[in-house]
Amino acid sequence: MLEFYLIIHFLFSVIQFFIGVLANGIIVLVNGAELIKQRKMIPLALLLSCLAMSRICLQLSVFYINWAIVSLIEVPLLVENFLIFMFVNELGLWFASWLGVFYCAKIAPIAHPLFLWLKMRISKLVPWLILGSLLYTSVPFVFYSERTWLLSQQVLLGFFYPNATTQIKETSAIQVAFFMRLFLPLLIFLASALLLIFSLGRHAWQMRNTAMGTSVPSTGVHMRSLLSVLSFLVLCVSHYMTAALLSSQIFKPRSLMFLFCILVFGSYPSGHSTILILGNPKLKQTAKKLRTWVQQSRRNPGLDFPFPLIGHTDQKIACKDVSFCICVLGFGTFSTDGNK
């Protein structure tokens, strides 16, 4: 019989799973509807869609691990699918890093020539960045598939069965090599996020000083955007930290700290996507309409599905200054063609 705290943990993991799938599903749904309606997808929407799809896969993988923790599936079945978890986790981290670079390039007012070059070309670089991330992440799983599978199998079995005799001597080296691969997207994300936070903070401080005590609505927008970036930074860093703690095997399986780290690890793909939706008017409107449709469909089962909702060509977004760009930070588009 399962312990009470394991049942509570599993209930939290179920809630986390549904929130993550729903939030990322809304992002994919909105951008997919726009693709169907306009026959094209702007670079930012493409990047957000790829990020959301990778997070759906990651959320499924984390939920699968939670099944193994509460013994609803056998650990050997988890081992066979662990490579999928490693792949989608690394791929999602790369997409999140490029999202940070995209917003930093579009918003941060830095006059360096290299930064200005990136600002002008980041939209055209997005498809190539996505393709490059996919190829880079696939290398160890394609060219070293047998060794990667064997090592991940033994590490994972040793993780769930600390007294097993299948432990390998190269475990520490494997962990170092694995996190060295993940260190590069983390470094890129930290650089872009910190630059963006510094830029938003300085701009908000300047606007507050020039307002001379009057209420300026855009100042509040800057502060909300700053909090959004900070929350993204906290979630991303906590994701890396819990991954490092779990891989170090310093916590016993099913211990309270172990379960806490699993929940924190899984909160990243669901938490950040939820923040994206709550801060974006277009995605937030879609979420509200979806909720209304669910409520009304209970009384009227024949009610039509309310999508596609977006993609109207008359809904133009004019970014005249950096303050308006910040309004759509993390969610919206900077122009209808994605090239500005």
> What SS3 class is residue 156?
helix
pLDDT of residue 165: 47
Which top CATH class is 4-327? mainly alpha
What's the residue count for the chain? 340
Inter-CA distances, 134 with 100, 122, 258, 292, 336, Å:
17, 18, 30, 37, 26
Residues 6 or more apart whose Cβ sits within 8 Å of residue 202: none
Phi, psi of 201 (to 5 degrees): -65, -45
How many other C-beta atoms can be found within 10 angstroms of the C-beta atom of residue 7?
12
- Structural domain boundaries in the chain: 4-327
pTM for this prediction: 0.79
- Please report the pLDDT score of residue 24 as a whole number: 92
Q: 251, 257 in Cβ contact below 8 A? A: yes
Q: Which two tokens stand for residue 51?
A: 């990020």
Q: Which residue ranges of the chain lie beneath pLDDT 50?
A: 165-167, 214, 308-340
Tokens of 137: 């992440």
pLDDT of 149-198, one tens digit each? Answer: 666 666 666 666 655 544 455 555 656 666 778 888 999 999 988 988 88
Report the C-alpha gap between 332 and 310 in whole angstroms: 12
Looking at residue 220, what is its pLDDT? Answer: 59
Residue 322 has a pLDDT of 36
The confidence score (pLDDT) of residue 56 equals 93
Predicted pLDDT of residue 201: 77
DSSP tag of 74 = -
Are 200 and 107 in contact, with CB atoms under 8 Å apart? yes
In whole angstroms, how large is the CA radius of gyration of the chain? 22
What pLDDT was estimated at residue 79?
63
Output the 3-class SS for 230-251: HHHHHHHHHHHHHHHHHHHCCC
